[in-house]
Structure 1
Amino acid sequence: MKRYIPNALTLLNLFCGCIAVIFAVNDNFVSAAFFVFLGVFFDFFDGFAARKLNVQSELGVQLDSLADMVTSGLVPGIIMYKLLEIVQSDWVEVDLSSDFGIPLVPLLGLFITLASAFRLAKFNIDTEQQSFFKGLPTPANALMILSLPLILEFQNNDIINAIILNKWFLIVVTIISCWILNSNIKLFALKFKNWNFKPNATRYIFIMLCAVLLIVLQFAAIPVIILLYIIMSVLDNITSK
């Protein structure tokens, strides 16, 4: 029976992702973000459960990527599409709609979904990524993208809102997202083989800094945390050499 527990958690991740897609398509970004956060929670604990119960399987690996493709790949692509759609009227003065009535410029947001699919496929065939990641994991990227509408909704800062709703900012974020997902930068994984501080110093410091940033900056802390994650990983790579 225990071998089914990790896969059940993975399917809960996928279920949350499907619900998030429905909310995102209907412009309910807050609810979509909630279910993505819940899906990421299940995504973290399915691997944790598989390791603790010693029931890792190839089926679980493939199922995990399929679930991530929806929760952490499709949903952020839709969210970016919707954000670009909001600023579409400020993009150019000519009609860029296709013959099917779909605005073309916002479709750039779906490149995040394509980059996520490519990243997950590479991960599945890469035997090196056991204790670290190459490129930003799709759940972390999804949280970064989902933080944008949450900041707009809850931070209530005119300067930040103006930045996020700037067409060039959204395009740059999309490009950076696609690149960082598939970059060769080695990023540490939050996997603890033991609870000793010395071998896990980077992880403990990162978690403590995340807690402080979330308290101080709230949702605006998420992009900062992603940047901090990348910087600390690069520094960790340098010091380890």
Structure 2
Amino acid sequence: MKKQIPNILTLLNLLCGCIAVILVINNNSIAASLFVFLGIFFDFFDGFAARKLNVQSELGLQLDSLADMVTSGLVPGIVMYKLLELTIDTSGKTNNYWEANTNWLDFNLPLLPLLGLLITLGSAYRLAKFNIDEDQQTYFKGLPTPANTLLIISLPLIIKFQNNDLINAIILNKWFLIGITFLSCYILNSDIKLFALKFKDWSFKNNATRYIFIIMCVVFLIVLQFAAIPIIILLYIIMSVLDNLKSK
């Protein structure tokens, strides 16, 4: 039974992802975000439990990636689809090919929002590479899918809770969203080495970057709330690059 505890946590991650998909499709991005956060929580602790109980297995590794494919792959793709859908002029005045609805067997499918699903494809490719890369034990190569999901899921939360007209106008600009989509796919599969939040010991000397990052995250979240999430992701990348230069 002990060896199944991490797998149960992974399946809870998958369950949260499935519920989040349903909620996003039904335009309830706020509730979907809660299940995404909960799924990422289970995703973190399934690996932690496997290491502490010394029950790591190939099955657990594959199951983890399959769960991540939903919670941290499909969900952000659909969220971006929904955001891009909001940028379409529904007045009927647009003649833009990418914004027009295409009728496929009496099913109207807007083409522009489909670009959001590139995030799902990029996430799948990143997860597959991670599974066969034996080097990513103490660091990540490219942005982890959960971090990327937090970035994407933060956008509707910022719109809802920050209530800033300028920020909302930027986020709901189709070119901004298209840029974020392509940037997301690139960062997911880049060769940039990013530090992992795994502590071999609790000393500040060996974990200075991690401790400083965590403290700054807490400060940003308190001050900026959901608007802090994109800043935190950017900070994570910058601190990782600086850490790499320092180690060289």
Query: Per the shorter chain, which TM-score range?
Result: over 0.9
**Does residue 165 of structure 1 match 2:172?**
yes
| Aligned-partner Cα distance in 2 for 1:233–1:177 | 17
Aligned-pair CA distance for 1:19: 0.2
- Is residue 186 of structure 2 the alignment partner of residue 194 of structure 1? no
Corresponding position: 1:84 with 2:88: no
1:26-67 CA distance string (max 9 Å, x none): 010001111000000000000001111111000000000000
Amino acid in structure 2 at the alignment position of 1:31: A
Task: Write out aligned runs for 1:60-209 (5 A).
Answer: 60-89=60-89, 93-94=94-95, 96-100=100-104, 101-209=108-216
Partner of 1:99: helix, strand, or coil?
Answer: strand
Q: Distance in 2 between matches of 1:155 and 1:2?
A: 44
Aligned to 1:28: 28
TM-score normalised to structure 2 length = 0.95
Deviation by residue 1:183-226 (Cα, 9 ceiling, x = unmatched):
00000000011111111110000000000000000000000000
Partner of 2:224: 217
User: Match for residue 14 of structure 1?
Assistant: 14
Give the secondary-structure state (helix, strand or coil) at the position aligned to 1:142.
Answer: helix
Paired with 1:20 and 1:98, the residues of 2 have a C-alpha distance of 27
Tell me, which stretches of 5 or more residues in structure 1 are unaligned?
none
Q: Distance in 1 between matches of 2:56 and 2:206?
A: 24
Structure 2 counterpart SS, 1:150: helix
Normalised to the residue count of structure 1, the TM-score between the two structures is 0.98
Secondary structure at 2:22's aligned position in 1? Answer: helix
Instruction: Give the structure 2 partner of residue 55 of structure 1.
Output: 55
Report the CA distance between 1:97 and its aligned residue: 1.6
- Which structure 2 segments of 5+ residues have no match? none
Letter in 2 for 1:190: L
Partners in 2 of 1:87 and 1:17 — Cα distance?
25
Q: Secondary structure at the match of 2:197?
A: coil
Give the superposition deviation at 1:92. Answer: 8.1
Provide the rounded CA distance (Å) in 2 between the counterparts of 1:84 and 1:15.
26
Partner-residue secondary structure (3-state), 1:117: helix
Label 1:177 to 1:7 Cα distance change in 2 as closer, same or farther (>3 A). same
